[in-house]
């Protein structure tokens, strides 16, 4: 009886999942296999949309942009997040207050914080350029040059993501038994050795989950690029999400938009599989 009640209780959730996740994903996959434009039925063309897409320089450039964006952002978020987590773990007082301050970038709505960054990167009135000129250095075209624009969007993504990494890894650090460090100290291990032999291995399951979550969120990022650069300059900062939006909605090529946004799905599935397999095997 309890089993039946349990199944009955999860039916509403399953229904919501089907309606809000399975149906849209299924519809996107079908749309990507047609030549639909907005408002037209389109006809089934199989993988033709994908074939044309991979031959387009803009799509290839976007794929490279996305790869750079994700790999550099994740690396920097991991490094700085871990450093902050270690710092908070070892400071004797004011930890909670500092954690609250550090959490602000993650908590403030994305659009608000990115608008402020946009002002900071403004081509004519950037406060960052003002600082540079005061130091006797040249102004930087933050959003006007592909190199600096890529750096700008990565900076904003890292700035927003560090709090999540530091809080999650901080929780992981707290869960590591102190006796291990004490035993290691008694055995003469240095701090660096303790970090690489105790901290890092025991933090890996948490790190894997955090990285996986951040990978999905970063690769699906839209608002930072949309607000800051709209994919420019010269289409150098387009991510899959922003390109899918530009092509699919204002461009009305909805099948192409669906294909672009779904392209990364198999890669994410594989990444999730390996990340979760590592976590499960470590738990065993």
Partner 1 sequence: MKRQVWMYLVLAVLVGFGIGGALATGRELTILTWNHFVPGFNQEFVRQVEEWGRINGVSVRVDFLSLPDLAARLPAEVEAKAGHDIVLLFNYNVALFKEHLVPLDDLANELDTLYGPWAEGAKFLAFLDGHWWAIPWCFQSLVATVNKEAWKAIGVSVDDLVNFTWEDLLRVAPKLAEIGHPIGFAIKDTFDANGGLFPILWSFGARVVDENGYVTVVSPETRAAIEYVMKLAKYMPPDVFAWDDAGNNRFMLSGVGSWTPNPPSIWAVAMRDKLPIADSIDHAPLPSGPYGRFRVADYNSFGIWQFSPNIDLAKDLLRWLMRPDNVVKQVEASWGYNEPTLKAYNEISYWISHAPLRYYHPPVEEPRPTGWPAPPGPQWAMAYNLHIVPLMFAKAVTGELTPDEAMQWAEAELLKLGFKSK
Query: Closest CB to partner 1 among 40 and 282?
Result: 40
Q: Which of 227, 238, 282, 281 is nearest to 261 (CA)?
A: 238
The 3-state DSSP class for residue 161 equals helix
- Report which of 201, 199, 241 is spatially closest to residue 221, judged by C-alpha positions: 241
Piece of 31-39, 180-188, 204-212, 271-279 that binds partner 1 (CB under 8 A) = 31-39
Least distance from C-beta 24 to partner 1, angstroms? 12
Can residue 253 be called a binding residue for partner 1 (CB under 8 A)?
Answer: yes
> Which one of the spans 88-96, 106-114, 136-144, 208-216 is the region binding partner 1 (CB under 8 A)?
136-144
Query: CB of 11: closest distance to partner 1 in angstroms?
Result: 24
| Gyration radius of the chain's alpha carbons | 23
Residue whose pair of structure tokens reads 């990167």 in the numeric block:
121
Q: Interhelix angle for 254-262 vs 240-248, to 10°?
A: 170
Residue where the block lists tokens 């994903």: 25
How far apart are the C-alpha atoms of 166 and 87, rounded to whole Å?
A: 10
254 forms part of the interface with partner 1 (CB under 8 A): yes
Can you give the three-state secondary structure of 75-94, one letter per residue? HHHHHHHHHHHHHHHHCCCC
Told to check if 245 binds partner 1 by CB under 8 A, we report yes
Please pick, from the candidates 80, 120, 128, 145, the single residue that binds partner 1 as defined by CB under 8 A.
Answer: 145
Using the minimum distance from each CB to partner 1, give the nearer residue, 5 or 124: 124
Site for partner 1 in 54-83 (CB under 8 A): 56, 58
Q: Which of 89, 105, 122, 272 binds partner 1 (CB under 8 A)?
A: 122
Q: What are phi and psi of 40, to 5 degrees?
A: -115, 155
Q: Which helix (H) or strand (E) holds 276?
A: helix 265-283
Applying CB under 8 A, among 45, 194, 232, 279 the residue interacting with partner 1 is: 232
Q: Is 124 in the site for partner 1 (CB under 8 A)?
A: yes
Which stretch, 167-175, 189-197, 214-222, 232-240, contacts partner 1 (CB under 8 A)? 232-240
Which residue of 230, 268, 271, 278 would you call a contact of partner 1, by CB under 8 A? 230
Binding site for partner 1 (CB under 8 A): 37-40, 56, 58, 122-125, 141-145, 149, 230-235, 245-254
């Amino acid at each position: 009886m309890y089993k039946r009640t349990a199944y009955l209780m999860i039916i509403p959730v399953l229904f919501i999942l089907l309606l809000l996740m399975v149906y849209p994903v299924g519809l996107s996959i079908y749309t990507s296999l047609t030549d639909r434009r907005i408002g037209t039925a389109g006809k089934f063309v199989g993988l033709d949309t994908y074939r044309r897409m991979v031959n387009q320089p803009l799509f290839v450039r976007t794929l490279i942009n996305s790869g750079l964006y994700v790999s550099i952002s994740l690396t920097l978020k991991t490094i700085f997040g871990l450093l902050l987590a270690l710092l908070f773990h070892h400071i004797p007082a004011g930890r909670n207050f500092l954690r609250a301050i550090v959490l602000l970038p993650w908590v403030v709505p994305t659009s608000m914080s990115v608008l402020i960054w946009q002002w900071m990167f403004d081509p004519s009135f950037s406060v960052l350029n003002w600082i540079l000129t005061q130091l006797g250095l040249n102004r930087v075209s933050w959003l006007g040059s592909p190199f600096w624009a890529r750096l700008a969007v990565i900076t904003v993504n890292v700035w927003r993501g560090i709090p999540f990494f530091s809080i999650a890894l901080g929780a992981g650090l707290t869960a590591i038994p102190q006796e291990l460090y004490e035993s290691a100290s008694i055995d003469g291990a240095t701090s660096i050795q303790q970090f690489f032999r105790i901290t890092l291995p025991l933090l890996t399951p948490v790190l894997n989950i955090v990285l996986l979550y951040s990978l999905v969120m970063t690769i699906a990022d839209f608002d930072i690029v949309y607000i800051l650069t709209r994919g420019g300059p010269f289409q150098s900062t387009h991510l899959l999400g922003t390109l899918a939006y530009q092509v699919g909605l204002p461009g009305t090529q909805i099948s192409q938009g669906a294909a672009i946004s779904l392209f990364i799905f198999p890669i994410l599935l594989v990444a999730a599989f390996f990340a979760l397999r590592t976590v499960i095997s470590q738990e065993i």
